[in-house]
Structure 1
Amino acid sequence: MSTAATGAAGGVATGALSGIRVLELGTLIAGPYCGRLLGDMGADVIKIEAPDRPDPLRDWGQGGQKLFWRVHARNKRCISVDLRTDPGREIFLDLVRTADVVVESFRPGTLERWGIDYGVLSELNPRLILVRVSGYGQTGPYAARPGYASVAEGISGLRHLNGFPGEAPPRIALSLGDSLGGMFAFQGALAALYARERTGRGQVVDAALSEASLAIQESTVPDYHKTGHVRQASGTRLERVAPSNIYKSKDGRWVIIAANQDTLWMRLAAAMGRPELGTDPRYADHNARGDHQDELDEMIAAWAADHLADDLVAILNDFQVVTGPVNTVAEVMVDPQFRARELFVDHDDPSLGPDDEGYDPEPVKGVGVVPKLSDTAGGIRFGGASRPGAHTDEVLGEVLGYDAETLVRLHEAGTIA
């Protein structure tokens, strides 16, 4: 384990991964999301960008505000080093000697072309863990293809399950495949760190967006293998899981009502003022309710339409029925549960000044660290540095001991920025 600290950018980390140093290579969402999760838990994450090609995510956001980056690059020190040059690679290899984890999300073969593949890295640092995030994984006939979240969701069958029968399968308004890939990469990094405590050796974590999108699909594979059943898109409900759907309230809001267990169904029947339905043979068990799913949806929809959404949720909670509204982000941010859990926290960028065009130097609200740990909780030490290379001199001076003269020489050569 390294003796990494977070440096001047954000004070000392106290999370579960405090003392772990991570080098992050790559751009956009999947690999950097893995790096973000590691940083959230206290790791010292050093993001390395090319001087002439910083991460395009820096320019993403709504209304001219470059906010996507601020949240996704939080807890990361950003340096600019040209890995396509020999001096740049030497800097990277010097950093590798101090690191615990390298996260990269280039197309497979890129590190090999640059001469910094895992064989080279592990010879310098046998304890190093290399987390590789790509569209299809490092092997197989599709390995060399570029991969994005949308295609990963499609080829894995995940997109096929979304939407309504007979309609084009839509995407959720997020890069879901990227986030899933990043989460599985994070999981792999943690497992490899744990294994290293026993073996003393690092290893390669090979995380693919397509496989992450496949891995969450419950029983679709065994269902097809054993019965030939191909699960289809089912709109707002799961087929034969009833009742569990969204229902429109009197004031036009959608409310989720999930009462697909026998006890929950009896509670819902009582809440609707029709307790006899709870033991009606047509609805009394899981299979019976599946057979009469349309009837149940029509019945519950008619009842829900007579109530305001807040009243509907209150009634159902009184009867201990699983329920909740379908919120917009505006409603989420004032929801008392999320506020009580302190999930919306400031992301500050101490590297910014009032003259940095296109960036707001004021703190930005974002979602906090999930999950919460009781003893070694993570946190947001600082938001993502909006200026590329904001911590180059700090990191190379602190971690590698480069003096001012060396830094000036590297800047003048264009190796760092």
Structure 2
Amino acid sequence: MQSENTGPLKGLRVIEMGQLIAGPFCGQLLGDMGADVVKIEPPGKGDPMRDWGRGEFHLWWEVVSRNKRSVSVNLRIPEGQALARKLIAKADILIENFRPGTLEKWGLSPEVLHAENPGLIIVRVSGYGQTGPYSDRAGFGGIGEAMGGWRHIVGDPDRAPSRMGVSIGDSLAATYGCLGALAALRHRDLTGEGQVVDSSLYESVLQVMESLVPEYVISGYVRERSGSKLPGIAPSNVYKCADGDYLIGANQDTVFGRLCQAMDRPELASDPRYATHVARGQNQVELDDLIEAWTQTLTIEQVEDKMLEHGIPAGRIYRAEEMLEDPHFAAREALVDVPHPRWPGLKMQNVFPKLSRTPGTIRSIAPQSVGQDNAAVYGELGLTGEDIAALAERKAI
């Protein structure tokens, strides 16, 4: 598939040297917004993400590698490293998520790269960052989630710490890496200088932990696992209906008053146990029980009708099936068809966020073979077919 590139990053060249999730998701975000992303893969099997998925359905690759071109480079030999330097010398952004020190070992340190390309922005995603006593440790997303404070507070209080069903630590580090790259582009526009964006997994998680650390420092309060509710924020929970679960968030005073009206229990809004935000938090368990006793007498549709009637934030618990059937998803094109030779009928999440004047697009499917764009990309560097064949013979690509 091909569509017009209307994204705001059109004209920017990104070299993606990462594997698995964090680096490639950063590349996906930049590619979705119009950047030309050239993904470097090791010759042969390529990025392990090509094989991730359920059974034969390796569909994660199709999402995270859309809008990219694939070239093969053997970064472990000098000739491959020299070829990588040629690619990077003409790039605006380099993304890598190897263990700190790996680029340096390959002769691709920021100092070397900036000597050849002073305006280069280097996004380095790692478990613990490029400095500090833990910097040379291997780090995956789950480790960053644990160190950043996420895992301790996720799950039911009587169970071991749980995890989300997605690799949130990797995705957060990639997103902050992308944010840093865009900020660095602004600096480069003003000064011409490139720089290094240091995005660690654990610090990316730490950024979304709200007031967890200040609460402990000032009051000694330690957040613990609380299942589906947030301690002190009530009502805001998942409640059982006659035919399933439904999420209601009515913790603000006026919204709670409207919920009381919807339940035909207006007196609860002035009951001292529930009249204020603090009081509702202190009596959270009994208030949740009271609300669930009501929702269990109704179907999800009946509860939803009442929530809509009274202007109360609430919603169904969606799976993929519900997303595909929902008219709001369709109206906003949150999910789009992606014509694909191997996966007929393929749908995936659209580019986000939406920009009114320069919207991003899905312009091409993920590379279907390692190095499928070698001829095109290396040709842009001035290499001939004979040059490329010689590189392949010497196992540099």
Letter in 2 for 1:199: T
Question: Aligned equivalents of 2:43 and 2:19: distance in 1?
Answer: 13
- Picking from 10, 15, 19, the partner of 2:11 is 19
Q: Which moved more, 1:81-90 or 1:292-301?
A: 81-90
Task: Provide the residue aligned with 2:60 in structure 1.
Answer: 68
Corresponding residue for 1:273? 264
CA contact (8 A) 2:44 2:370 kept: no
> 2:314 is aligned with what amino acid?
T
1:70–1:347 CA contact under 8 A, matched in 2: no
Q: 1:12 deviation in Å?
A: 5.1
Shift of 1:250: 0.6
Tell me, in whole angstroms, the C-alpha distance in 1 between the residues paired with 2:90 and 2:2.
Answer: 19
SS at 1:58 equivalent: helix
Check if 1:400 corresponds to 2:391. no
Give the Cα separation in 2 of the matches to 1:154 and 1:282. 36
1:413 corresponds to 2:394: yes
Does 1:177 find its partner at 2:169? yes
Report the Cα offset of residue 413 of structure 1.
Answer: 1.8
RMSD: 1.3
Structure 1 residue 66, shift from structure 2 partner: 1.6
State the secondary structure of the residue aligned to 1:333: helix
Alpha-carbon shift at residue 280 of structure 1 (Å):
2.1
One-letter amino acid matched to 1:306: T
Contact 2:45–2:370 under 8 Å retained in 1: no
Q: Matches of 1:169 and 1:65 in 2, distance apart? A: 29
2: CA distance, partners of 1:115 / 1:287: 58
Distance in 1, matches of 2:289 and 2:210, equals: 28
Q: 1:362 aligns with which of 344, 352, 355?
A: 344
Partner deviation per Cα, 1:239-285 (whole Å, 9 max, x = no partner): 1101100001111x110010000010000000001112122222111
Aligned-partner Cα distance in 1 for 2:86–2:296: 65
- Give ranges in structure 2 of 5+ residues lacking alignment: none
- Number of paired residues? 397
Partner of residue 128 from structure 1, selected from 120, 125, 144: 120
Alpha-carbon distance between aligned partners in 2 of 1:132 and 1:346, rounded to the nearest angstrom: 33
Q: How does 1:194-209 map to 2 (within 5 A)?
A: 194-209=186-201
Give the equivalent residue in structure 2 for 1:333: 324
The residue matched to 2:303 in structure 1 has which SS?
A: helix
Q: Give a deviation string over 1:346-388, Cα, whole Å, max 9, x none.
A: 3345xx6xxxxxxx25352110111100000001001211211
Residue equivalent to 2:359: 377
Residue number among 174, 194, 211 corresponding to 2:203 in the alignment: 211
2 CA distance for matches of 1:187 and 1:204?
13
Asked if the contact 1:277–1:283 (Cα under 8 Å) also holds between the matched residues in 2, the reply is yes
TM-aligned CA distance change 1:385 to 1:348, over 3 Å? farther
1:250 aligns with 2:242: yes
SS class of match (1:204)? strand
Q: Which amino acid aligns with 1:375?
A: R
Q: Partners of 2:286 and 2:57 in 1: how far apart? A: 48
Indicate the percent of aligned positions where both proteins have the same amino acid. 47
Q: Secondary structure at the match of 1:106?
A: coil
1:189 aligned to which of 181, 191, 214: 181
Distance 2:141 2:171 in 1: 8
Change in 2 beyond 3 A, CA 1:22/1:218: same
Moved over 4 A (4+): 9-12
Residues 27-51 of structure 1: CA distance to partner in whole angstroms, max 9, x if unpaired?
Answer: 1000110000000000000000110
Contact 2:3 2:362 in 1 (8 A): no
1:413 alignment partner AA: R
Distance 1:96 1:11, change over 3 A: farther
Q: Structure 1: how far apart are the matches of 2:86 and 2:2?
A: 23
Once structures 1 and 2 are overlaid, which stretch shifts more, 229-238 or 330-339?
330-339
- The residue type paired with residue 71 of structure 2 is I
Gapped runs of 5+ residues in structure 1? 1-8, 353-359
TM-score, normalised via structure 2 length: 0.97
